[in-house]
Structure 1
Amino acid sequence: MKPWVMAMCLLVACAGVHAKTTLWEPAAGHTQVPIWPGTPPDPKSLPGSEYARTGTTTIGGKTITGVYNVSKPTMTLYAPTGENTGAAIVVFPGGGFQGLAMDLEGTDVCDWLTTKGVTCILLKYRVPGIPYEWQCDCRPHNLQLSMPSLQDAQRTIRLVRSRAAEWHIDPHKVGVLGFSAGGYLVAEVSTNFKRRTYAPVDPADKESSRPDFALAIYPGHIATDDDTLNPNVPVSHETPPTFVLQAEDDHVDGVNQAQVYYAALKNADVPVEMHLYPHGGHAFGLRPTSNPITHWPALAETWMSSIGMIPAAGP
C-alpha cells in the first residue's frame, strides 16, 4: 500500500479497528492557544465533535495521528532549540481538508525547524470542508477559496507578527509551510493577503497577513483539470518567494500541481525554486524513506538561507 493511501485511510477514519481515539494534545511544555477570542468567523456545522485518532499503519516506522471536526482552531508555539535566527514558520498540516495529519505533517516539522533556530507555530485549522466525503470531486476547495481555513491562516500570521517581540521573532521573517491541502493553503495565503476575509476582532488584525516566504510541499488543488491555475490563487509579483517540492509519481494530486504553480510564479517574476523527483509518492512528510526526495529538508534549509531568512550552514 502506498504511503498516501495509508494516510488517507487514516484521515477518513478507516485506519483499523484498533486505532486509538482521543483528543489531540501537544507534547509537554507546549500549549494550544485559541486563535480567535470568541466564536470564529463564519462558523460551520460539523458532523460531530472534535477528536484525534492514531492509526495502526505506519510511515517511516511511526504511526500517524489525525485530527477531525475542528471548529475551534488553535496554534501551538515551538520555540527554537538551536540558536534563534529570528525566523518563524506557520505550519499547515495536510489531510484533504477532511482532517489534519498533526504529527506526520505537523509536530515532525516543528521538531526539525526548531533545531535550525526557527520558531515553529503549528496551526490546527478548521476542518472538514463541505461536502464531507473526501472522494467527491465537487469539494469546494477545487475551485473555491477554503474560506474557514484561509481565515485561520491569515489570523495566525497576524497574531505571530503582533507577538513578535514577546516571542523573539523578526516580524519580517514570518513564513508558511504546508503539505498537500496545507500546500494549497500556503498558495492561498500567499496570494490573497490583500483580501480581507473577516472583520477585525482586535489590534492584532492590523498586522499584515502576507508571508515573507513560503514552502509548498506536494501541494494540491492549485491546478484545474485542464492544467490552468486555480483562479482563487491570484499569483502576482507581490507573492512571496516560494519553494515547491513534489514527486513525479504523486498519484494523488499529480506533479502538474507543482508545475502549474511554478510557471505562474515564474511568469509573475516571483523568486521561486522547484524540486521534482521521480519517486516519492505523496504524504511522506519528513519521515525517512529509500527515495532521494527524503532529503528535501536540507534543500529547504539552503533555500531559506539563500533568501536571507536563516544563516548559511557551516562547512
Structure 2
Amino acid sequence: MSTHYPTPVTPKQTRIGWIGIGVMGGAMASRLISAGYAVTIYARTPSKATPLLSQGAHLVSSPAELAALSDVLFTMVGHPSDVKHVVMDTFLPSVNPNTVIIDHTSSHPGLARHIYESALEKQCYSVDAPVSGGDIGARDGKLAIFAGGDKDVVEWLRPLFDVLGKVTYMGGSGKGQSCKIANQITVGANLVGLSEGLVFAEKAGLDQGKFIEAVRCGAAGSMVMELFGERMIKRDFRPGGFAQYMVKDLGLGVDVEEGDEDNATVLPGAGLSKQLFSGMVANGDDKLGTQGIITVIERINGKLDKH
C-alpha cells in the first residue's frame, strides 16, 4: 500500500470528484464538504448544483475534466448503463495514475469486476461501494456501505467512508454489489410486509400509529419500520430511493441472464416484491420513494385514494 499511497487521505490534500448529486449523492457530497474536503462536481443540469456550490464545491464542465482534477472519484448515478458510460467512457480515458474510483451506485457485480480490471490497466483502482440507509442515512452520515475491491485500498479510503457511514469490506471486486442486491431483497420484503401489516391494521379498525408503537420493539420491529413506518402513515412518499431503482435492484437478483442459468438463485419472495414494485412504476409512481409500495397494497384492497 505504501508504494501507491504514501500520503494518507486528508481534507487538506485529497482532491474529491463527484458525479451524481441527487437525493442521496447530494447529501453525501455535502457531508464531505462539511468535513473540510475540496469537492469538485460535474452536473448535467448545473442549476441543481447550487446548494453544493454555496457550501464551497467547485463545478466543472465535463466528466473528463473532473477525472483529470481528482485523486478520488465518486459516482452515484442511476443504472448500470450510466455507470458504464461515466466510468468506462469518460473517467478512465482521462484519469491520472493511482486515482481511485468509488462507485456508490447499485449496479451489476459483473460490471464492477470489469471496471476493476479496466482501472488496473490504467494503473488505477476501483471500489464498488453501494450503500443502504436512504436519504436520512445519507444526511446524517449513517449509511451502511458495502465495499468490494482491494482490501488495502478500502482501508486507505476509510477516512472518507467514515464521514458517510460505516463501511464493511465484503471481498473482491463485485462483492459490494452482491451484498447490496441481498440487502435490497431483504429490504423489499420488509417494505411489502410493513405495508400489508398497516393496511390490515387499518381495515381491522386499529389506529395505525398505535399498531406501530405496539409492535416496533417486538419481532416485527425493523430499521425499515423505523425509517418508513411513520412516513407511510402520513402519506409522505418523498424519495430517499426511487421505486424504479428498487425494481432495478431486485431485477439484478432475480433476472437470469442468458448463459448464466446454472448460477441463478431461486428467489420467490424477491420475485413477488419486484412484481409489486413494478406495479408502482406502472401506476406512474416510479419517482416516489420505496415506502410508496403501500399504495399498491391499498389499490389491491380497493383503496384508490393513494396520496
Bigger share in strand: 1
Bigger share in helix: 2
| Structure with max Cα Rg | 2
Larger RCO (CA within 8 A; separation ≥ 6): 1
